[in-house]
Amino acid sequence: MTQPGARFRTIAAFLLAGVLMASALPVYLAAQVSRTGPPPAAPKLEKIKDDLYVIENSDVSRDALTYWGGNATVYLTNEGVILVDAKYARSHDDLVAKIKSLTDKPVKYVVLSHNHADHAEGAQQLAAMGATVMISAADRENLALAANPAWLPELTYIGQARLFLGGKEAQIYQFRGHTRGDTAVYFPADRVIALGDLLTTTPVLPPIVNYTDGGNWVDWDRSVDEVLKMDFDIAIPGHGPVVTKAQVAEIRSKMGAVQQYVRTMNREGKSAEEIAATLTKEFNFTPFRNQIPAMMQELR
């Protein structure tokens, strides 16, 4: 495992220099992206605690992100695995192989942080292996809105839920920000929380909200503020390395400042192009190009 200090210094670099190409496609459409040549380097397995691991991209690039998908959190018990997120369907064999390298117990539960394909597409294959798949009721509705959905999770929750397996507990909380039904999974015994795309820490994908699926920045602020009231030491993002609670607070502060700049420039009558240029210059933050008009509409 990479030493925590080195990992957290990487995040500090993200806070100063996280830049995303403005022409990048949204992650939730990445499953549709065609490519040629060999796949990028396979994801790596990172130990966070003795019973908790993260499957994270080895290659910090847009290519790896759009091929392998988001992070997956593996929580081990003596009766089976609780898995947070299922990555793309194409990642299934690699995901299962990494879990089997840790335990001979089956995946009993898959908790999806939200409905986007880079986190949820592989869940159908895990369900076929016998896992129970769980998602917020709101994000199951988002999945159902997709054209001709072939499969939907069998279990939903509203607000909060708790999972008990092998004498261990996972607490499940519904938030709103990235989508209208984001799920965070808190492991109280380890003081670790998995946040899905409410949090991203990779330089190729800054924090983002998906307006189409009911996300917005005002609710993102509220949700991260509520998360910061919780008792955790380490946060697992939807993409990128793990961070400390203090670093989550830094990201929250940065994104609050980004939003205030958008409000100010909006009221000054600045164009979307001017706002995008200022955010890149002042914060090294470049959202997807199609996000700026929606941000301007929300942050008036």
Amino acid occupying residue 292: I
CA torsion 277→225→16→57, rounded to 10°? -100
Q: How many helices (DSSP H) and strands (DSSP E) are in the chain?
A: 10, 13
Tell me, what's the pLDDT at 216?
Answer: 96
Tell me, what's the pLDDT at 203?
Answer: 83
Tell me, what's the pLDDT at 271?
Answer: 92
Residue 72 CA to residue 101 CA, distance in Å, equals: 15
Residue 248 CA to residue 236 CA, distance in Å, equals: 10
Count the helix, strand and coil residues of the chain and give each as a percent rounded to the nearest 5: 40, 20, 40
Fold for the domain defined by 4-247: Metallo-beta-lactamase; Chain A (3.60.15)
Residue 132 CA to residue 134 CA, distance in Å, equals: 7
Tell me, what's the pLDDT at 146?
Answer: 84
Amino acid occupying residue 254: K
Let me know: does 69 contact 117? Beta carbons within 8 Å.
yes
Let me know: does 113 contact 196? Beta carbons within 8 Å.
yes
First vs last C-alpha separation in the chain: 45
Tell me, what's the pLDDT at 150?
Answer: 83
Structure tokens at 258: 């980004």
Q: Domain ranges in the chain?
A: 4-247
pTM: 0.89
CA torsion 73→221→273→24, rounded to 10°? 10
For the chain, residues with pLDDT lower than 50 are 1-25, 27, 29-32
Q: At 222, is the secondary structure helix, strand, or coil?
A: helix
The rounded Cα 114 to chain-centroid distance in angstroms is 8
